[in-house]
Chain A
């Protein structure tokens, strides 16, 4: 129970469904703030008190479990390391993967509980053979199945999402008010919980030493200098400070962040279009496809609030590459080919694969292929399919 309205209502519904419920608040910081500020929705002492008051009203015991050390290692440090490596991680997914449905679930199972119940908007459907499937919430506007896409069959077997069939958040708030929860009108949280003022760039800047490096175009020509690659995100337009304008006069966007050489690659907006994404770290949410090596139709979603896009996906075998730096061993990866090129894709993001409303699985994106080959500027307006791959290591 974070101290927010969703987990409070989820707990109350679980009690009414006949479960024996204990409220648990996760202590994720050794030095929590005292009062809630801005749009952060958890992790202060005030939030902990809000959670406890909701537990009191429901009539369930309430405890604070300390996962601050694991959270620091698995979520905060991972977030910093991913950024330092030029990727764009989603710390909320990492928290679900490593804390809520791993460290917390494991401790709960060991202490005699059967499941972790949260206020996520997602549904669990059991198929005819008793397999549990993860599906979108019935309220698509609030659907959070994307951030749960990392859950495996074993984790889903011990998960409950009582808010999955609620038509709207407004309804949850109304129910909370009816139940007498003081948090009924508590603002939604948007920011990353461990970055107090929401200034992600500033926060990262204090933790990743910025190093001056080159800004290159796609052909490798040096256009200028940056003061730290970590400050750039794929798709970013502002703050590039390139003196000379592009030959065609069009604005330039960040296409790639290369941490090893500390370079930022920029180019025209069209070059942001991605025709292929792939990741070696993939999981299946529930029952795995029988033949994942055979191409199958699906939808792919690349951000929490992005629309799903039609695609085909398959697991492919990648042979060892001793010439790569560092050399790679033979492995498999989940490769996704969107029907139309996607924009706003960056390595480190998670691609969640859906079939209808069902979450089939996910991968952390570790390489993308641009839909637009490196060509003379004049030809950019006429994109032609080519195999000129932009490989993000």
Chain B
């Protein structure tokens, strides 16, 4: 099997193709020897490369460089923020979190509930996937003193709905509660101003390099100077004692190249992606009139590269398979454990049925997406849909051989 695919890649939310410049910078930096913690000049050289990278990543989110804690992944950033804030805020035990969060958050707060006695309170989403602010306010008001933290996605990774982060932060800040924002799916599509967010009450924010054309294996937790988190990893005391371990200079350098490229033309790229996204919506709705467009229909309320649909009567994974065979890569948007599909917990949290949650397809665009990719999808879709409808739903009894 060839390692290179001639597929239309419409799954940028899963991971984005690496920028060629980020690959070059990565390879060059990997050939430089030196532990940034070493005192000799080669160590100092590595340290210089690392800190320049930190400054550039900080610039991409409008934070101070000291507020950038590099981690091994976006998931690690989320874990560090949630567990770190939770433990630092003991004996408070309540965690307020919207439904439909990414599994990095869901599984972390559930682990805290099972192992550490946390009480997780799920704040409902509306039909568009947006947090119910009144419910959040009421949950805080129950007892503002026992809330350890509030955590939420900046933008839902499946349906693309933007959350009112500032309003959430303001409600929490009024009660003195720290807020963590999982901005992993928003990063690269929505301008992130950590200084401004911190001013309204955000303590920590997670991002990841591979969603913007950087390498897999490095993320960052943007952690305010004033926030205290208990570390997950202990050791040499690197990075404010928050995240010990020899720092990955080459990955940080590559991350920085992608971050700089991303911020340089964010607005122009967003305009381009919005047009392509509109072409996806128009094409899908014309090819399959019964398709339901999910999330916020207002372009201002969702990620510009996200088009999310349900196809009533079809299994999302049947459609995914047939489109894959036709050379188009999309996602059902659901979490996978070794590729085992699950109904979308995000759609369930938005009040949709189990059947609808199995019928989802997420189409996500990014920097390398072209009209040709969209055309490939739209031309393959009618046949794939007709065949997937014929295959029916997995929870219905087989017809022919009972």
Residues of chain A touching chain B, judged by Cβ–Cβ distance below 8 Å, are 25, 27, 30, 32, 45, 48-49, 52, 56, 59, 61, 63-67, 69-70, 97-98, 101-103, 105-107, 110-112, 152, 154-155
Contacts and interface: CB of A to CB of B under 8 A. Distances in A.
B339 interface: yes
A49 B341 contact: no
A16 to B, nearest CB: 16
A66 B394 CA distance: 7
A66 B398 contact: no
A70 B401 CA distance: 14
A66 B387 contact: no
A61 B387 CA distance: 19
B171 interface: no
Interface in B364-398: 387-388, 390-392, 394-395, 397-398
A27 B338 CA distance: 10
Given A32-B340, A63-B321, A107 B394 contact: yes
Nearest to A64: B339
Contacts of A61: 324-325
B320 to A, nearest CB: 8
Contact of B391 (A66, A110, A152): A110
Contacts of B398: 70, 98, 102-103, 105-106
25 contacts: A30-B342, A48-B338, A48-B340, A64-B338, A64-B339, A64-B341, A66-B340, A66-B342, A98-B402, A102-B401, A105-B398, A105-B401, A106-B391, A106-B399, A106-B401, A110-B387, A110-B390, A110-B391, A110-B392, A111-B318, A111-B322, A112-B322, A112-B387, A154-B400, A155-B401
B337 A69 contact: no
Nearest to A66: B341
B300 interface: no
A97 B19 CA distance: 50
Given A70-B395, A107-B318, 17 more contacts: A32-B337, A45-B337, A63-B317, A64-B339, A66-B342, A69-B394, A70-B394, A98-B398, A103-B397, A106-B391, A107-B392, A110-B391, A111-B321, A112-B322, A112-B325, A152-B401, A154-B400
A218 B69 CA distance: 78
B339 A63 contact: yes
Contacts of A98: 398, 402
Nearest to B396: A70
Given A59-B1, A107-B394, A154 B338 contact: no
A105 B398 CA distance: 9
Which of B322, B397, B401 counts the most chain A CB atoms within 10 A? B401
3 A-B pairs closest in CB distance? A110-B391, A102-B401, A64-B339
Main secondary structure of the interface of A (DSSP, over half): helix
Nearest to A25: B339
Given A61-B324, A69-B394, A111 B388 contact: yes
Given A111-B318, A111-B387, A106 B400 contact: yes
B355 to A, nearest CB: 11
A381 to B, nearest CB: 48
A155 to B, nearest CB: 6
Contacts of B402: 98, 102
B314 to A, nearest CB: 11
Interface in B318-356: 318, 321-322, 324-325, 337-342
Nearest to A103: B398
Contact of A103 (B1, B337, B388, B394): B394
A154 B398 CA distance: 13
A145 B267 CA distance: 64
A383 to B, nearest CB: 41
A226 B273 CA distance: 71
B226 to A, nearest CB: 40
Contacts of B318: 107, 110-111
Contacts of A63: 317, 321, 339
Contacts of A106: 391-392, 398-401
B257 to A, nearest CB: 32
Nearest to B321: A63
B394 A67 contact: yes
Contacts of B337: 32, 45
Contacts of B400: 102, 106, 154
A199 to B, nearest CB: 25
Which of B317, B340, B388 counts the most chain A CB atoms within 10 A? B340
Contacts of B325: 61, 112
